[in-house]
Amino acid sequence: MAHPENPFGQVLVALVTPFQADGEVDWPAVEQHIESCIASGADGIVVTGTTGETSTLTDPEKIKLVEVAKAVSSGRAKVITGGGSNETAHAIELYQASEKAGADGVMIVTPYYNKPTQAGLLTHFRMVADATDLPVILYDIPGRTGVPIKYETILRLAKHPNILAVKDAKGDFSEVSRVLNQTDLMYFSGDDANVLPHLSIGATGLIGVTANIAAAPYRVIVDAVNAGDLHTARAAHQSLEPLVRAVMTHVPGTVAAKYILHGLGRIGSPRVRLPLVGPEEWEAALIEDELALISDVPGVDLSNFRPDRNAAAGGALPQIAGTTR
């Protein structure tokens, strides 16, 4: 479980949101999937993040996901609400509602599309962090948002009492080292291929997409790094490499993760919401080629893998009224 000074956990799953074939949230599948992740070694569940398709979830769905995750985890894993908004006022509303729903922490993504200045980022993060008593993870992913959180801005944000961590999907390891040297911030790897490199320079843990399919190997990696056992950590990292490539290379991570989870019989439908669509034939073939290279990954039995490209085709629209901005 999490260290006493770490309110988030170390093996955090960036949870997919299982949908029914018509695109509505499959709530029993959500519960089952969270239980499976925790049983496999996850001590943190991040709901309504990028992988959870936050952009196309309605606000009531987002809050219910926090409530369901909190009920299922029952103290065994921390529940972090991700996503946010590129409108500061709306982000504040969402995080305050998530706190009331029982979230243990919040992950605030850099405002997207607006392309704010660093002064705008600083104000956005501070105002959201001021609006809740929950511990905060900053989510730095310029590939999706268009704007990085610059080093100087991170140093200033580190002085806020509620801002305790960064999820790094920027991949600038020298900057991570500088921030770790000059602040008390915790770092979480936000790039599945770089989990072990991040941990090796002092990161606390990971927030992973591939962990939806195989949380157990990440538990092995984290525990091995904690024990100073590089050999065991490296072996687990290498065994995961083709699975990470299958999930993260050919289509958006949530699309591939749902396709694989459905093929393994762990969710009832691989449906995603538009504008995401399931993998095309050639993309599905590439994913399956990567899976064929996997051997000896705990929790992944590909002898039972039955992909259904027809079920994954297309995308859905939410039927429930409510803002998704």
Consecutive H or E run containing 107: strand 105-109
Distance CA 299, CA 217 (A): 8
| Identified catalytic residue from 62, 78, 139, 259 | 139
| Identified catalytic residue from 64, 167, 187, 258 | 167
The residues facing 78 across adjacent strands are 44
- CA separation (Å) from 227 to 109, 278, 279? 32, 40, 40
Residue 303 backbone phi and psi in degrees, to 5: -65, -20
Distance CA 27, CA 18 (A): 8
Task: Please confirm, yes or no, whether 139 is among the known catalytic residues.
Answer: yes
Question: Positive or negative, the Cα torsion across 116, 121, 127, 131?
Answer: positive
- DSSP tally for the chain: helices H, then strands E: 13, 8
Distance CA 93, CA 132 (A): 10
Is 54 labelled a binding residue? Answer: no
Residue 316 backbone phi and psi in degrees, to 5: -125, 160
Is 51 labelled a binding residue? Answer: yes
Distance CA 236, CA 4 (A): 26
Task: Please confirm, yes or no, whether 113 is among the known catalytic residues.
Answer: no
Binding-site annotation: residue ranges: 51, 207
Instruction: Give catalytic residue positions.
Output: 139, 167
Binding-site annotation: residue ranges for pyruvate: 51, 207
